[in-house]
Amino acid sequence: MNDASIKVLMDYLPTDWWRRKSTCQILLNWFKRYLLGLFLSVEIEGKVQHGLYTGFLLLYKENLMWATAGHIIDEIREIKSNPNVRIVRMRWLDDSKISGAESVPVHSSNFRTYSATEFGIDFGVADITGLDRENILKNNRIEIMTEQGWKNLHLANPEGYYIIGYPKEWVETNEVRLPNNRILGSVLANAACIPVEQIEYPGKHPTKEFWNDPRAFYGRMLPYSDEPGHQPENIKGMSGGPLISIERTPNREFRYRLFGIQRSWDENTRSIRVEPIENIIPRDEYLM
């Protein structure tokens, strides 16, 4: 099928095309190229715990960074500074298809981080430099978000949105304790691409802090329009993932943009609260 045929077919897509499971799977295979998970194993009082944090690669003014939610950076800082916690392993999950190289080690846990939570903005970054940067950039499956990804958002006409990330319930971890107190761990992480519709801000709620930010992007996660199920029940673990819009252009091409960073959700209504990119970019001292 040539490009002209594809463009003709685009004119006849049903209105729910972006909510279909097949569409979400196709887009996930592309969008997850931006994802970079941080796998962290720690030992507390002799017991090993594992965590996988969602983030994505961001290039801004030649700086390569891991972008995520600010509260994720705060949590990682707290772990690293806790004298009762021993870091066993830190690895970047870059989804390499080379056997044995599905992740790369974090060579120094003292990487520079910044969190904007003190300013009421749930966004943070970690510098990726040195060997970590070299190893990640060797992976030809990786895509890096640049300023082009959020340029001219005011001209966007989204037909829908997606949140992308690693839900905790879709992450499997295993560990084996070896001689000399060594611990061998592994992780299998499946990413989710969930369709979202933007909802009007309903105003502050007297008891739910979730609704207390009128500047935030609020959305509701939608089931696939053509097939029920096959979505995570709980999206814990997806904080720090990108909110990406999708639309068809007048030239009958697909266009996507970075609209924000997933920060929290309301389980009862399956609503999400996203930190808009417009709140993040004006404070770009952490992106320098």
Eight-class DSSP state of 35: B
Residues of the chain above pLDDT 70, percent: 87
pLDDT band per the 50, 70, 90 thresholds, residue 227: confident
pLDDT band per the 50, 70, 90 thresholds, residue 172: confident
Q: What is the dihedral of CA 158, 33, 190, 135, to 10 degrees?
A: -150
What pLDDT is attached to residue 184?
Answer: 60
pLDDT band per the 50, 70, 90 thresholds, residue 121: very high
The dotted CATH code for 3-287 is 2.40.10.120
User: Distance from CA of residue 228 to its chain's centroid?
Assistant: 24
- Average pLDDT taken over every residue of the chain: 87
Tell me the CA distances in angstroms from 14 to 10, 11, 141, 225, 257, one per residue in order: 9, 9, 31, 11, 21
Is residue 2 pLDDT above 80, yes or no? no
What pLDDT is attached to residue 100?
Answer: 42
Is residue 211 pLDDT above 50, yes or no? yes
254-266 and 242-248 strand pairing: antiparallel
User: Distance from CA of residue 69 to its chain's centroid?
Assistant: 9
Of the listed ranges 110-114, 193-197, 215-219, the one predicted with least confidence: 110-114
Please give the residue that has the higher pLDDT: either 60 or 210. 210
